[in-house]
Structure 1
Amino acid sequence: MRYIVSILFTALLLTACQSKNTEEASPKLQDNPQEDEVREGDFVFRLVSEKQEYGEFEKPEIYAKLTYVGDKKEIQISHAASLFSFPIHEQSRGYTVDYAMDTPLLITNLKRGEPYRESYEFAGGYSDQDDEDYVAFVQSIIDHSGFPKGDYSMEGYADFSVVDDSDTSDKEIKMKLQISFDVE
């Protein structure tokens, strides 16, 4: 009986140590709602809010980074006016503000290991068919360059194509992340 208890105790101890080592080896950004990161193929996409909480109408400090981690020293990617888009959602009001941008075809060179970074700038809008409260909400963001009080989540998209001289078709990549922050 003592032998069985000893084996069970040892197995339990090894399982506990293994779980702890796994957590230490791979910290998860999901535990921090103001940061998120994903890797797809040769690219790492990261979305970060510098703060978890902003003051009302304080300009948010949010940025996105794309890093090429493949074998080549440098590659070219094609994308719209911005490599990134940042739709926002205000949870308590139930509003979503899409991210509008021009869609020319731009080419950007990415060097291996050097992040390409863009800071968030509000690029939403409204139409004359939108609800008055929604229009007032969006207009307050435009007027103050920051957000009114609320609970926000932001999706970050990296949408681009790898330009490859050896192939006639570009490889399209769409990566998505989400962060959250509060405005008090």
Structure 2
Amino acid sequence: MKKIFLIYTLTILVVLGLYGCQQTEQVKDIKPPKPDELYKNSEVIKGDFIYRLVTEKEHYDEGENVKIYAELEYVGEEDQVEITHGSSPFLFPMTETTRDYEIAYAVNLPGNSTILKKDEPMRQEYRGGGGYAEHNKEEYKVFIKKVMKQDFPSGHYIVNGFADFHLVDKVKDEEKYIIEAQIEFYVDSEK
């Protein structure tokens, strides 16, 4: 078990390192869209599940706490179902488009289970993400360190969130679900 965890951890670090290698600190001009063009929440239905991804605002000020959360709701015929997942079924990877930076988001190995009661959403807030390798450029490291502390630098962020879990079914094999949604927000520089 320790060997599997070590391999999984090393794989994540290598992937994060490869993402960071390709990054530059070249910032594009931010052209704010019209308010009705931003999408601050998204809802996707797959089978008996509804996945929601939400940011509370379209624009945040630099230094302001960015509030993002995900929900998973069971809406099927049973009173409740059991799902298995990693430390959480929710992942919040992002892209910061003005710098073209990828912000990874990882969870621990599978092994947790949760009972979802019908029509009672499970909710989790974003708690920071990202990572870097020693060979990454210093600008990228500085950027990611800020994001890891949830202190987002100015820019345009797209959250490519998803719920990743298995539905436990006593009659047949577990059914794998990956439900994806996308939202965006801007962090505006201090004036």
**Residues 150-165 of structure 1 aligned to structure 2 (within 5 Å):** 150-165=155-170
Once the two structures are superposed, residues 87-113 of structure 1 have per-residue CA deviations (whole angstroms, 9 ceiling, x without a partner) of 011111000111022114100000010
> Separation in 2 of the partners of 1:149 and 1:40?
34
Distance 1:149 1:35, change over 3 A: same
For structure 1, the residue ranges without an aligned partner over 5 or more in a row are 1-29
| 1:183 matched residue in structure 2 | 187
- 1:58 alignment partner, one of 64, 72, 77: 64
The alignment yields a C-alpha RMSD, in angstroms, of 1.4
Between the two proteins, what is the percent identity of the paired residues?
Answer: 39
TM (norm. structure 1) is 0.79
Q: How many angstroms does 1:31 deviate by?
A: 5.9
TM-score (norm 2): 0.77
Q: In 2, distance between residues paired with 1:58 and 1:174?
A: 31
Equivalent AA in structure 1 for residue 61 of structure 2: G
Letter in 2 for 1:178: Q
Shift of 1:163: 0.5
Deviation at 1:131, TM superposition (A): 1.9
Query: 1:151 aligns to what SS in structure 2?
Result: strand
Secondary structure of 2:161's partner? Answer: strand
Aligned residues: 153
1:75-154 pair list within 5 angstroms: 75-143=81-149, 145-154=150-159
Q: What are the superposed Cα offsets for residues 140-167 of structure 1, whole Å, 9 maximum, x if unpaired?
A: 2234x22010011101110000001112
Q: Aligned partners of 2:162 and 2:55: how far apart in 1?
A: 15
Q: What are the superposed Cα offsets for residues 47-104 of structure 1, whole Å, 9 maximum, x if unpaired? A: 0000011111222111000100000000000000111000011111000111022114
